[in-house]
Chain A
Amino acid sequence: MALCRGAGLLLRTLLPGNPLLFPAVCRAQSSVSGVLVPRTSLTSPPWPEQLPPVCEAEDARRQAAVVSTVNGSIERQDYGRLFAVVHFASRQWKVTGEDLILIENHLEAGCGETIRLEKVLLVGAEDFTLVGRPLLGRDLVRVEATVIEKTESWPKVHMRFWKRHRYQRKMIIVQPQTVLRINSIELAPRLS
């Protein structure tokens, strides 16, 4: 974005920095001198020439600091409202406390029974997010839901028609549905 702005400004005023950093021509090969080639999108590879250096000690220190902060706020329970991404009924749902989910199939649980949704992919609060790879541990998060309603969908019409061939088929599809209310999402302080 900064590059586009710089290129646009060059038409009006002369910016000292840009022509020196990104010259319009470059050498074809470093071994052959005097052969200049215009700079295109394929002049240099798309990865950066110099990668930022890796300092493992500093990375480890930063990670330990982050983990201890997050662990502390989990232990003190001062995170506010939690949201979780849960894999259930072959779909992923972004879920908070007190919200309703409509599942388009039949569950074995009866109405009023509590269910624990185990496959949690991500949990987030205001100040931190826990991203599972791909799932978070079962002893780290607990998502509980109640089955509120078990009903059927409205009758959907599946119609096939082939014109000028006297072919039409009409089928009415009624699918069982379940409504779940998410009761709570709880975190346990156990990060490393």
Chain B
Amino acid sequence: MVFLSLSCWIRSRGPDRYWKVQDIVKNAKHFRGRKNRCYKLAVKAVRRAFVYATKGRRLKKRYMRTLWISRIAAASREHGMKYPVLMHNLTKSSVQLNRRVISDLAITEPRSFLSLAKVARARQQEGFRAALGDGKEPVGVFSRVVLLQ
């Protein structure tokens, strides 16, 4: 007897299932539990991991900026100034250093940070002097505020 239709029943189901599975499971090898071995569990875990990584790359920029700001605030308070005063006066003195570099200077170059704090302090005093003036009214203005003093 010759079975002629036996060979027609053998299907080629796709030659690369192993590699498709490994593509996903290799990203989960450091996970805990069965999701580092079993494809169905690994697919979900790997998808979550990739999505969290994508979102985390955007959040990392915000967190780093908050960290730099808190470091600069701490360092400026050591010199008797506050963070908004320091940054605003540095901007007014047209010193365009960003927060990352200023926090690095505060950590590794304390003397340079002190010089920046002094620049900001001097600019603040200049601003006060310009705003307060000598306490006199402008020429031609007569008011009882100056009279009573």
Contact = CB atoms under 8 A, between A and B. Distances in A.
Given A157-B50, A157-B53, A133 B95 contact: yes
A93 B97 CA distance: 10
A122 B98 CA distance: 12
Say what secondary structure dominates the interface of chain A: strand
A51 B129 contact: yes
Contacts of B53: 156-157, 159
Given A52-B125, A94-B104, A161 B47 contact: yes
Contacts of B98: 92
A160 B54 contact: yes
Interface residues on A, range: 20 to 34
Interface string A122-164: 1010100101111000000000000000000000111111000
A159 B51 contact: yes
Interface string A109-126: 000000000000110101
Given A92-B97, A159-B51, 10 more contacts: A85-B101, A92-B98, A121-B97, A126-B111, A131-B95, A157-B53, A159-B50, A159-B53, A159-B54, A160-B54
Interface of A: 31, 47-48, 51-52, 54, 83, 85, 92-94, 121-122, 124, 126, 129, 131-134, 156-161, 168, 170
